[in-house]
Chains A and B, each alone.
Chain A
Amino acid sequence: MYLRPKTLDEAVVHLKVPGIQVLSGGTDFYPALGERIVHKPVLDISGLRELRGISRDANYTRIGGLTTWTDVIRAPLPRCFDALKSAAREVGSVQIQNRGTVAGNLCNASPAADGVPPLLALDAEVELASATESRRIPLREFIVGNRKTQRRPDELLTAVWIPRALDDARSTFLKLGARRYLVISISMVAVVILTNGGKVTAARIAVGSCSAVARRLTALEQDLVGAPIRDGLGDRVTREHLTPLSPIDDVRATADYRRDASLTLIRRALDASVESA
């Protein structure tokens, strides 16, 4: 069974088909098949035009779930999205960025999803729609484990909402991998910093690939409040700030290295935020 509805209303109804799998950009869907062909019913939502694109109201920037990473890169967006744009450029390759969607990146819930740390640092909320309701929950609550989310089988992730209060924040994203392109990160860091009068008024720092779900480092965020925006900002980060991380050894790197490199990446991301003033 292959269904390709044109409207969201139709699409959410089809979610009732038992075992139906959602397909859009295909960049996670097809690799997950391994050596098998598609053998379950498919709901192809790529035709839902209403879910693609970026809009703004007074309080929020809304990124439609089917917005591709290329769309994100090309869209004129406030400064706080610099980190998300950097991350978008690091999603796989141009070919993947042209197909892969923001919603897919979040719903696939890989610990190494490039889009998650910047969106976490932007206090993003996800919008989920079913045939009966639409709800919004914070992204940090949405992803609950390695490839596990709060999305119910009858729901689609329709949009991501980012508060406009952060529009003017500086933001930086750094990704570390063992080669230049097409690489799954060993660690990645997103930093969003609000300043006033040369001081940090609020900081949001998220680290990916170092725990089952990308994590915000709240203790560090608090410690940075009031810090002057000048050289040495990164030196304020200590190993203790990394306590929420629980990296593992895998083919890409050791856990020890991940912790050590994350510390460096956070410091550099903070220093880069100073430079971007």
Chain B
Amino acid sequence: MAATRELQSDIETATIAFSVNGHSAGVSCSPSQRLSRVLREELGLTGTKVGCDAGDCGACTVLLDGEPVCACLVAVGQAEGSEITTVEGLQQSSSGSRLQQSFLTHGAAQCGACTPGMLLAAMALLNRKPTPSESEVMGALGGVLCRCTGYRKIIAAVMDATSAETAEVPAPAGNAVGQRLVRLDGKKKVQGSEIFGADETPAGALAVRVIRCPYHRARFHLGDLDAFVRNLPGIHSVLTAKDVPGKDCYGVIARFADQTVFAHREARYRGEAVAAVVGDAATVEALDPAALPITWEELPAMKEIDAALAPTAPRIHADREENVLVRGRVVRGEVDRALADADFTAEGEYETGFVEHVCIEPEAGFARRIGDQIEIQACTQSPHMDRSDIATILGIPPEHVRIIPTAVGGGFGAKLDLSVQPFLALAAWHLSKPVRMVYSRTESIISTTKRHPARMRLRAGCTREGKLLALDFAADFNTGAYSSWGPTVAARVPVHASGPYYVPHYRALTRAVHTNLVPAGAFRGFGVPQAAIAQEQLYDDLADNAGIDRLEFRILNALDDDTPTVTGQVIGEGVGIRACFEALLPKWHAARKQSAEFNSKMSGPLRRGVGIAGMWYGCGNTSLSNPSTVRIGLKRDGRIALHQGAVDIGQGSNTIVTQICADALGAPIDRFDLISGDTALTPDCGKTSASRQTLVTGKAAHMAGVELRNSILALARGRTCASIRFDEDRVSIEDKDEIRTLALGEMPLDNHGYVITAEATFDPPTQPLDENGQGTPYAVFGFGAHMAEIEVDTELGTIRVLKVTAAHDVGRAINPTLIEGQIEGGVAQGLGMALMEEFVPGKGENLHDYLIPTIGDIPPVESILIEDPSPIGPFGAKGIGEQAVIPTAPAILNALHDAVGIRLRKIPATPDRVRAAILTLEKGKQRA
């Protein structure tokens, strides 16, 4: 009680007056509150995003008297009398609106969470310097992190802002595919009006705050929580495991579901939820979690794979022997014999660490109960999966759960799993009041999934001529305390660990191993980026041993339409990997020559190197059904409602799916009204993962578009070759000189409320894998290869990536700007993974210890788009989301070896590891 009174007496308010976007504003609040919070929560200016509350990400950048500042670090009292500019005020000036337009035309905004901060930081620069240089742009924007774009399009947008043309090129009907259309949801992102998870608060919403385990493993005892609630006015409830009315067991893969909303007696990882406090926002915000009557007993924790695999190790889940969640296996031919017969072999061992997604938007949302139904609005990549898990947890039918996905401020796999949703659902359900929660950056880092740390051992052999004979690959993945997507990683990696090559004899064995660490889950590539780091470095060694040029070696072994993959699948058409490598060949030779010349001239510590790596990646779920259903409706006003449930996490599915649908139907893009993935409005398009939305939802949209076109033609008795015109209140079917018109205003509406509705479902055709992993796991694969040119400071061990050239077979480039955006963003994440990113649970749970690349770390990226059409994909298109990240890290690591002759067993290649390896190599040379 004493603590409560003191706390309340401390909350004093003052009236603070300042000007925002040219309008005077006054707030009455505590002057020590962060300006970011006041802008968002008091003034409703939610365009200013909060990404870290520590000045580490710059998302909340605003102009204070013309200078960029992090609004999270400014006391609102300090803004007294000042002029503040937020993203909402940018369009008031012509330079501001030109900058916004330049961001749109360049595709500089993807998810949009960093966009307001980027725009304001850029505006401050442009106000001083209307035509800045590239390095000036980097300096000015160095304090704003972006996780989607790879920054290059942002740099171009700022440099072009002053001269930007404002006119958009409208695509004529039937001609949208292949166009560099500005993303359809772009305007909201550059104007700050996009609604993300934290951007709406229902009136009277209570706040929810989760209490998490501070130890890697601990038993805990809950004290008298009722007394705690009684004694702390403003707190309405503390929820714990006993408050889960339904089945307290969820997980993204039903067969492996093992997570409870709150831990029961024992928490298995640091960050696991044990309780949730619900109360009025001010009280919950001021709460010291240590005030809760919870006693902890720290228990010995297993953090390493080996500890968990030890015969004496206690089981983290009673039914999982040896702490192995799942094993993966693909075996073909006779790998041992083939390795014994090989003229050349190479072997290696590689380790990678946890990688954090760092979505600039931390998880957030709200929920409300409406009678016996629950409604959750939150950022998510998988609304329908959320719906079924929440229904299970609450013990209600799925139809009683409505999931309204907001815009997603970066996903990359992190937002496939539940985060805020179960807490919101329980609180709203029990209290019958709207509730809201927003994760802090630390909470997001400690509790949401990570990329799996991998420990890989592999050996490969080839003939004298360099033909690959065999690969023997074994990998263990640290899957953390709960299953999440561990089974997917263990299954996907053996299918992909050969790389995009013909390998007749093959054995890939994987295990996902439980430890007392944060669950590892989905992160762009489901383990394949880790496997590629090992395999692509190994193939370099093998090529070297065989005395064959590293790229020629890859071309020699590249899969083609008719060679079987390691699962025995003959893809048949659309295997564009050789074309990708061949596109790089002249650039490879030129870069190698340039780098050799540099090294021969350079007497100082700098050495350059060039590296290459290939990639393949299956689109959609591995041998599992993953359908998408798209519904489109012709409205009486001649517009077309497109219900497409593919959540756009910044990658552009809102735009891509519409482009595909528009051309299938033959209608111009601007006739379409997009309906989001709200589960009450839109059929299931599955999750945004596995690079499946362009292929699967795109194909369903294509089919639905064709169906609507056919329905219109049938209704007008037009021939299939007729063209359709969509006008205000009618459609006209034109065939030569004949025009038939459907007057839409007079036509009856169907049960969806449309004149005509078309709905189509597509599920990519796959076959199950047998006990040796043989079968057809994917209908469509994407292919690619990256070349990295780097410079190593051998004395400091630092690496500067000078350029990445990325060739990708995308089947058909539906929107080249968006594809380049995926590639450049993938390169940035791959670069981060190669050089700096490693999360150590318990350490560095913030964005100044966990580093991702800044604008100054990303080199120019040249994208080469190869279009070898898939017979299945819409207009031949394949996925690109995950494909883009896979080859970058191995290409950089191969370049590192090329430059200085070292192979790091453990990545990332941080300066200390690189320098240590160089010193070891030098010592070895001295001894020799």
Contact mask B124-139 → A, CB, 8 Å, 1/0?
A: 1000000000000011
Tell me the smallest distance from the CB of A261 to a CB of chain B, in Å: 5
Tell me the smallest distance from the CB of A177 to a CB of chain B, in Å: 8
Contact mask B21-45 → A, CB, 8 Å, 1/0?
A: 0000000001111100000000000
Residues from chain B with a CB closer than 8 A to the CB of A95 are 55, 58, 61, 68-70, 73, 121, 143
Assess the A178–B851 pair: CB atoms within 8 A: yes
Residues from chain A with a CB closer than 8 A to the CB of B179 are none
Assess the B33–A38 pair: CB atoms within 8 A: yes
A13 CB–B CB distance under 8 Å = no
Tell me the smallest distance from the CB of A30 to a CB of chain B, in Å: 5
Decide yes or no: A257 and B797 within 8 Å by CB, A95-B61, A179-B856, A182-B143 being known contacts.
yes
A140 CB–B CB distance under 8 Å = no
Assess the A44–B32 pair: CB atoms within 8 A: yes
Tell me the smallest distance from the CB of A25 to a CB of chain B, in Å: 7
Contacting B at CB under 8 A, from A20-69, are: 23, 25-27, 29-31, 34-39, 41-42, 44, 46
Contacting B at CB under 8 A, from A175-206, are: 176, 178-184, 186
Q: How far is the CA of A265 from the CA of B798 in the complex (A)?
A: 12
Residues from chain A with a CB closer than 8 A to the CB of B848 are 182-184
Tell me the smallest distance from the CB of B836 to a CB of chain A, in Å: 5
Work out how many contacts link A and B, with CB atoms closer than 8 A.
166
Decide yes or no: A94 and B54 within 8 Å by CB, A44-B77, A257-B797 being known contacts.
no
Tell me the smallest distance from the CB of B175 to a CB of chain A, in Å: 42
Assess the B14–A2 pair: CB atoms within 8 A: yes
Decide yes or no: A261 and B843 within 8 Å by CB, A2-B14, A27-B55 being known contacts.
no
Residue among B7, B75, B795, B851 making CB contact with A23, cutoff 8 Å: B75
Assess the B911–A182 pair: CB atoms within 8 A: no
A248 CB–B CB distance under 8 Å = no
A264 CB–B CB distance under 8 Å = yes
Q: How far is the CA of A178 from the CA of B796 in the complex (A)?
A: 11
B849 CB–A CB distance under 8 Å = yes
Decide yes or no: A37 and B70 within 8 Å by CB, A176-B798, A184-B848, A264-B795 being known contacts.
no
Assess the A183–B851 pair: CB atoms within 8 A: yes
A96 CB–B CB distance under 8 Å = yes
A92 CB–B CB distance under 8 Å = yes
Assess the B72–A30 pair: CB atoms within 8 A: yes
Tell me the smallest distance from the CB of B790 to a CB of chain A, in Å: 14
Residue of A nearest to B793 (CB): A264
Decide yes or no: A23 and B32 within 8 Å by CB, A30-B55, A98-B68 being known contacts.
yes
Assess the B75–A253 pair: CB atoms within 8 A: no
A70 CB–B CB distance under 8 Å = yes
Residues from chain B with a CB closer than 8 A to the CB of A94 are 68, 121, 124, 139-140, 142-143
Residues from chain B with a CB closer than 8 A to the CB of A277 are none
Contacting B at CB under 8 A, from A194-233, are: none
Residues from chain B with a CB closer than 8 A to the CB of A96 are 55, 70, 73, 143
Q: How far is the CA of A26 from the CA of B440 in the complex (A)?
A: 18
Q: How far is the CA of A4 from the CA of B79 in the complex (A)?
A: 12
Residues from chain A with a CB closer than 8 A to the CB of B440 are 35
Residue among B33, B54, B855 making CB contact with A31, cutoff 8 Å: B54
Assess the A257–B912 pair: CB atoms within 8 A: yes
B349 CB–A CB distance under 8 Å = no
Q: How far is the CA of A190 from the CA of B637 in the complex (A)?
A: 70
Assess the A1–B10 pair: CB atoms within 8 A: yes
Residues from chain B with a CB closer than 8 A to the CB of A182 are 56, 58, 142-143, 145, 848, 854
Assess the A37–B856 pair: CB atoms within 8 A: no
Residue among A38, A93, A176, A181 making CB contact with B30, cutoff 8 Å: A38
B910 CB–A CB distance under 8 Å = yes
Residue of A nearest to B52 (CB): A31
Decide yes or no: A254 and B443 within 8 Å by CB, A44-B75, A180-B142 being known contacts.
no
Tell me the smallest distance from the CB of B132 to a CB of chain A, in Å: 13
Q: How far is the CA of A41 from the CA of B797 in the complex (A)?
A: 46
Residues from chain A with a CB closer than 8 A to the CB of B844 are 251
Q: How far is the CA of A44 from the CA of B31 in the complex (A)?
A: 10
Residue of A nearest to B847 (CB): A182
Residue of B nearest to A4 (CB): B77
Decide yes or no: A42 and B854 within 8 Å by CB, A70-B67, A98-B69, A261-B796 being known contacts.
no
Assess the A179–B443 pair: CB atoms within 8 A: no
Interface size on B, as a range, is 35 or more
Q: How far is the CA of A79 from the CA of B34 in the complex (A)?
A: 38
Residue among A35, A36, A41, A176 making CB contact with B796, cutoff 8 Å: A176
> Main SS of the interface on chain B?
mixed
Residues from chain A with a CB closer than 8 A to the CB of B289 are 35
Assess the A181–B53 pair: CB atoms within 8 A: no
Q: How far is the CA of A1 from the CA of B10 in the complex (A)?
A: 6
Residues from chain B with a CB closer than 8 A to the CB of A252 are 849
B583 CB–A CB distance under 8 Å = no
Residue among A4, A42, A92, A251 making CB contact with B55, cutoff 8 Å: A92
Residues from chain A with a CB closer than 8 A to the CB of B286 are 36-37, 39
A170 CB–B CB distance under 8 Å = no
Tell me the smallest distance from the CB of A128 to a CB of chain B, in Å: 23
B166 CB–A CB distance under 8 Å = no
Tell me the smallest distance from the CB of B242 to a CB of chain A, in Å: 26
Residue of B nearest to A174 (CB): B796
Decide yes or no: A99 and B70 within 8 Å by CB, A27-B55, A44-B31, A253-B910 being known contacts.
yes
A260 CB–B CB distance under 8 Å = yes
Assess the B911–A178 pair: CB atoms within 8 A: yes
Q: How far is the CA of A83 from the CA of B32 in the complex (A)?
A: 34
Residues from chain A with a CB closer than 8 A to the CB of B855 are 180-181
Chain A CB within 10 A, most for which of B10, B138, B443, B919 = B10
Assess the B32–A2 pair: CB atoms within 8 A: yes
Q: How far is the CA of A41 from the CA of B855 in the complex (A)?
A: 38
Contacting B at CB under 8 A, from A232-254, are: 251-254
Tell me the smallest distance from the CB of A218 to a CB of chain B, in Å: 25
Residue of B nearest to A187 (CB): B796
Chain A CB within 10 A, most for which of B10, B32, B289 = B32
Q: How far is the CA of A30 from the CA of B854 in the complex (A)?
A: 22
Residue of B nearest to A267 (CB): B795
Contact mask B849-891 → A, CB, 8 Å, 1/0?
A: 1010111110000000000000000000000000000000000
A256 CB–B CB distance under 8 Å = yes
Residues from chain B with a CB closer than 8 A to the CB of A36 are 286, 288
Assess the B139–A99 pair: CB atoms within 8 A: no
Contact mask A92-110 → B, CB, 8 Å, 1/0?
A: 1111101100000000000
Residues from chain B with a CB closer than 8 A to the CB of A70 are 67
Residues from chain A with a CB closer than 8 A to the CB of B124 are 94
Residues from chain A with a CB closer than 8 A to the CB of B432 are none
Contacting A at CB under 8 A, from B171-208, are: none
Residue of A nearest to B440 (CB): A35
B591 CB–A CB distance under 8 Å = no
Residue of B nearest to A40 (CB): B10
B727 CB–A CB distance under 8 Å = no
Tell me the smallest distance from the CB of A78 to a CB of chain B, in Å: 24
Which residues of B approach A to under 8 Å, CB–CB? Answer: 7, 10, 12, 14, 30-34, 53-56, 58, 61, 64, 67-70, 72-75, 77-78, 121, 124, 138-140, 142-145, 285-286, 288-289, 440, 442-443, 605, 795-798, 835-836, 840, 843-844, 848-849, 851, 853-857, 910-912, 915-916, 919
Sample of 16 more A-B contacts, CB < 8 Å, known A2-B30, A26-B73 = A2-B32, A30-B54, A34-B442, A35-B443, A94-B143, A95-B121, A98-B64, A178-B836, A181-B139, A182-B142, A251-B843, A253-B911, A260-B915, A260-B919, A261-B795, A264-B796
6 nearest A-B pairs in the assembled complex, by CB-CB distance: A93-B143, A180-B856, A181-B142, A257-B912, A31-B54, A26-B73
Q: List 13 A-B contacts (CB under 8 A).
A: A25-B73, A26-B78, A30-B54, A38-B30, A44-B77, A46-B78, A94-B142, A95-B69, A178-B910, A179-B836, A180-B138, A180-B854, A251-B844
